[in-house]
Structure 1
């Protein structure tokens, strides 16, 4: 029987995807996601859809799912075609808010799903914005009144009340340095997770031993830090991940096996080329009076998005920029072939990753016969020029430009912001380097694409949802529900599924005696 999984703060299901992708030699899943809890409605819709797919036998996704991906039927029609599986998914993916939903209701759902099983696994990542370096710099530190600081205790309460055999908890790197009232938060969390009885004595919980997934024996807090690029993810994503083992399980866990680094070009380079969209043009700034003084108001001209409107601007910007490079003594050669489409939610195309790529079987689904959710967003015309310059500069110098470089090549490349050239925004526009792992995909990608500019000057755009999903190692048939902004938000908040799959293998070794382990590589389809 598969080991039960309870997934807290589940997001769109990155951890669950990895754990449910570990397959035994009988082609059955080693772990079963019994319950995923997530408060965001759009992420919950994504979780429900992925749970729906897990109700089918391994490698036997229904044809209606591919019809849905091709936009031939609606998600309601998909669910109506398989009502029993849909109901199972609704029982697995639960929209609830830890810290607000009554504890008795949560406990009853978990107890019902576990049905007395003691060898089960708790996974999840309490919200991390309060601990992140960017979040702390924005508000000047960590506030006692920020409820997110204490949400790890909801995770801790589940440990104390239901006592999993193993838990896996993920959070941001900033957790290691975060302080509250002069006390290191990480030290407090570690103490609580090791002895949950100090916080929840009423449950008489056992103690836990906490291990590093990369170092084994822990000598420093940084030993809990996992650098995803060292484990096959095409992304420099550094996260704190804790592995907890209940004290009665006398097992020394293994660690993740390092692998060669995967560069960005190899995972997104073969996706169809798409151009950016345009939607408006900055015209001027006006100073207007307010009750408290004056303020700047930016004025824009709305534009119709078309290949003609887009291409004439891009061609003109290219000429201007190449002249600027030439005037500064740089002989930049660029043959421009402009894509005509902004992409779509489904585009029929041959396989978009090399069969020899280390992650080819992980991403690919031959029944998909195309690419999904690969559509660019619209950009301000002035940002088009900045993106074009940044990608040309990066192509020539193998690094993305800083604000002083923008000024050197043209004052019109500087954004109309008072703090545009401050140190805080010096890397405001960041091109992803093609021959290295990408930088960390975060939820900020949902706000704008300035930190995620495509390296190809001809496309002149930020990354698409599918490109961000590839960087995060979501399989190509993984559909994200909601608007494009909401899809980006989900992708940025997730744990890379391929990393989670490797963690699942370590957890499996803890739960199963060595002579009984029979786990195989993930096959072409996970479901």
Structure 2
């Protein structure tokens, strides 16, 4: 079957793209405004090219290096692949330049798919509470997405966002998106229950996302049906058990060995995919006040309760508002699946406390990446904080792969 080409818009750290690459798609370009995320995609692009050309030892040596030189790694792959990662904000001013960069690399008739989703904070309930929606330029980024559809005329597209997009301005923004893509020549649909949940795709995380799928009107397609993956795995025994126990502020960005054999879940999902080491298992430091709260939170969780911030001993309460966000300290469910990992994890780890009271800390960068189903050889460029942000904003690759496989089959059957 012919190789299918795609463009990834608002690409982030490449979680959505990783799933499509696994399903056999070929990325023509990634467009992303955040430099650290772009650097991550360049490094992951290097991994895929080196692996395909049986030079993956170069990549693994990079992961093992204590002083990583990403530019030197990137020199090992064709320059056009590095240049295809476009570090630009998508706007009226930058669109001509972005189109020019892409057009240098491809025959513009050969784009089969466009994927991606504008920054989700714009449509989130919290984001709407802080800003006037019409004045927030992020709420209008879908118009730029549509311009890519109009120029490259892909057979299909995938537009990902948070459930808040369904209710934003009582559905007005969703209707605007639907109208715009229909005017561009596409039919469009969302799931029957309006969103997909990553836990139904084998990801150990309760993460709801609106996945809008569109296709050229002449293809007469319909929204794909996804089989629900039933899993009996949990965070503590199946996802975290082989990682070195850490205390608050411990760990390293560099390579360290696993402390236990792999698990069936890690093998089935290719999260732990053959290496004898892991990177970025590093934890942020906390003050004594927070650490005492963490202990109480885990104790409450072990009794089957979530910690209510307002019930803490007065000496531990540092926020004046004890009536809102009373769940600001949350424990990751070690005996089940995690609650949603969001970009706020870059600010603090209070919402992601490790379930092991002995470790008394928030989760590490690698643990967050695993909850999102990123493989252990996926390296996030930038600082620890930058890595957390990239992970929190990402689409789980395991979920993305199963969506991509459906999209691939739909295109193949209709071309």
TM range (shorter): over 0.9
Does 2:254 align with 1:254? no
Match for residue 204 of structure 2 among 234, 244, 247? 234
Does 2:337 align with 1:430? no
Q: Which has the higher helix share?
A: 2
**Counterpart for residue 320 of structure 2:** 418
1:335-354, aligned counterparts within 5 Å?
341-349=250-258, 353-354=262-263
Are the structure 2 counterparts of residues 72 and 65 from structure 1 closer, same or farther at C-alpha, using a change threshold of 3 Å? farther
Does 2:30 align with 1:32? no
**Counterpart for residue 115 of structure 1:** 107
Q: For the aligned residues, what is the CA RMSD?
A: 2.2
**Counterpart for residue 60 of structure 2:** 66
Secondary structure at the aligned position of 1:49 is classed as helix
Are the structure 2 counterparts of residues 160 and 351 from structure 1 closer, same or farther at C-alpha, using a change threshold of 3 Å? farther
Are the structure 2 counterparts of residues 145 and 467 from structure 1 closer, same or farther at C-alpha, using a change threshold of 3 Å? same
1:74-113, aligned counterparts within 5 Å?
74-76=68-70, 78-79=72-73, 83=75, 85=77, 87-99=79-91, 101-113=93-105
Q: 1:431-490 CA distances to partner (integer Å, 9 max, x unpaired)?
A: 111122111111100000110111110011111110000011101100000010000000
* Partners of 2:346 and 2:53 in 1: CA distance: 32
Query: How far 1:7 sits from its partner (Å)?
Result: 0.4
* Partners of 1:246 and 1:128 in 2: CA distance: 25
Query: How far 1:405 sits from its partner (Å)?
Result: 3.7
Q: TM-score, normalised by structure 2?
A: 0.93
Secondary structure at the aligned position of 1:5 is classed as strand
Query: How far 1:252 sits from its partner (Å)?
Result: 4.1
Does 2:242 align with 1:264? no
* Partners of 1:343 and 1:108 in 2: CA distance: 41
* Partners of 1:371 and 1:257 in 2: CA distance: 31
* Partners of 1:267 and 1:507 in 2: CA distance: 29
* Partners of 1:224 and 1:209 in 2: CA distance: 16
Runs of at least 5 residues in structure 1 that lack an aligned partner in the other structure: 23-29, 197-206, 216-222, 278-340, 517-527
Query: How far 1:174 sits from its partner (Å)?
Result: 0.6
Mapped contact 1:452–1:462 kept (Cα < 8 A) = yes
Query: How far 1:63 sits from its partner (Å)?
Result: 1.4
* Partners of 1:183 and 1:500 in 2: CA distance: 25
Mapped contact 1:351–1:369 kept (Cα < 8 A) = no
1:365-514, aligned counterparts within 5 Å?
365-366=273-274, 368-395=275-302, 397-406=303-312, 410-413=313-316, 415-419=317-321, 421-422=322-323, 424-513=324-413
Higher gyration radius (CA): 1
Query: How far 1:128 sits from its partner (Å)?
Result: 1.6
Q: TM-score, normalised by structure 1?
A: 0.74
* Partners of 1:235 and 1:84 in 2: CA distance: 36
Runs of at least 5 residues in structure 2 that lack an aligned partner in the other structure: none
Query: How far 1:60 sits from its partner (Å)?
Result: 3.4
Q: Which has the higher strand share?
A: 1
**Counterpart for residue 175 of structure 2:** 187
* Partners of 2:290 and 2:71 in 1: CA distance: 40
**Counterpart for residue 288 of structure 1:** none
**Counterpart for residue 144 of structure 1:** 134
* Partners of 1:146 and 1:53 in 2: CA distance: 37
* Partners of 1:58 and 1:361 in 2: CA distance: 20
* Partners of 1:485 and 1:47 in 2: CA distance: 17
Does 2:156 align with 1:166? yes
